[in-house]
Amino acid sequence: GLGWIGKHTCLINRSVGSWFFLGEIYTDLPLPTNETKSKNHCGNCSACIDICPTQAIIAPHQLDARRCISYLTIELKSAIPVEFRKTIGNRIYGCDDCQLVCPWNRFSKPSDEKDFKVRHALDSPNLLSLFDWTENEFLEKMQGSPIRRIGYMQWIRNIAVAIGNITPTNQTHCERLLQILSNKRPHVTPLVQEHIDWARERLSNDYFNQFSSTQHP
């Protein structure tokens, strides 16, 4: 076989880890089947289970997709449950922590395919700059990227949550974040507005009031 199913539920290959895509070829040709099954080489390792921010891997080889950040930021079209918003951190499209920590992925190598190369300097994006994109900018910059399929409003929804998870350095920084969120609010759907309101409330309650009380005892 190609490998074994890891405790994070992804297929692992001894040569390349789990960083690869699966493809299929449909044919009516009679092809021999491989009866040999790969052994499971995860052993006692539980790194993927331990690292998951939302405890989505509820047991070895069992994933509760409703808790998975990749599902919450990509597939979920409705509101992100409040209980997971803080643990999402600054992740705006997927997660992959369970794969990043997997020891077998030390054997993986970056692809040479141009379609997998970083575009538009998105290997080190600034959340506020991304949040400021118009829908046309989003569609243009994400042309040919799987990110484009989630749509502009879901993109802004995800970034609003990430901005709400920023730790401001001082009151001025906090005020700037609050203003940026407020400026975007009139131009988005009610669902996205709710996420912006959550981010504003978190920044106000957790940081702005703290800075204010520090300066005005």
Higher pLDDT, 21 or 148: 148
Distances (CA, A) of 53 to 56, 82, 108, 201: 8, 14, 23, 22
Longest CA span, the chain: 80
* pLDDT confidence of residue 208: 65
CA distance 210 to 216: 10
Torsion, Cα of 196, 203, 83, 75 (10° steps): 40
Confidence band, pLDDT 50/70/90 cuts, at residue 34: confident
CA distance 105 to 63: 20
CA distance 85 to 158: 9
Share of the chain above pLDDT 70, in %: 96
Asked whether residue 197 falls in the same domain as residue 138, the answer is yes
For 12-26, 71-85, 94-108, 115-129, which range has the lowest pLDDT when averaged over its residues? 115-129
- Residues with Cβ within 8 Å of 166's Cβ and at least 6 positions away in sequence, in order, are 90, 127, 177, 203
Supply the pTM of this predicted model.
0.90
Last-in-domain residue among 57, 77, 109: 109
Confidence band, pLDDT 50/70/90 cuts, at residue 33: confident
Asked whether residue 155 falls in the same domain as residue 102, the answer is no
Confidence band, pLDDT 50/70/90 cuts, at residue 122: confident
* pLDDT confidence of residue 31: 87
Is 36 part of a structural domain of the chain?
A: no
CA distance 102 to 96: 10
User: How many residues are given for the chain?
Assistant: 217
Confidence band, pLDDT 50/70/90 cuts, at residue 38: confident
**Could you report the per-residue pLDDT of 71-98, keeping only the tens digit for each?**
999 999 999 999 999 999 999 999 999 9
Task: Report strand pairing: 11-12 vs 4-5.
Answer: antiparallel
**Could you report the per-residue pLDDT of 161-170, keeping only the tens digit for each?**
999 999 999 9
Asked whether residue 89 falls in the same domain as residue 133, the answer is no
CA distance 13 to 164: 38
Closest CA to 163 of 121, 119, 207: 207
Q: Which domain holds residue 15?
A: 1-20+44-109
Confidence band, pLDDT 50/70/90 cuts, at residue 215: low
For 14-18, 97-101, 195-199, which range has the lowest pLDDT when averaged over its residues? 14-18
Query: Averaged over 97-107, what is the pLDDT?
Result: 96
Asked whether residue 87 falls in the same domain as residue 137, the answer is no
Residue 147's Cβ-count burial label (10 Å; 0-12, 13-18, 19+) is middle
Domain count within the chain: 2
* pLDDT confidence of residue 217: 47
Asked whether residue 104 falls in the same domain as residue 6, the answer is yes
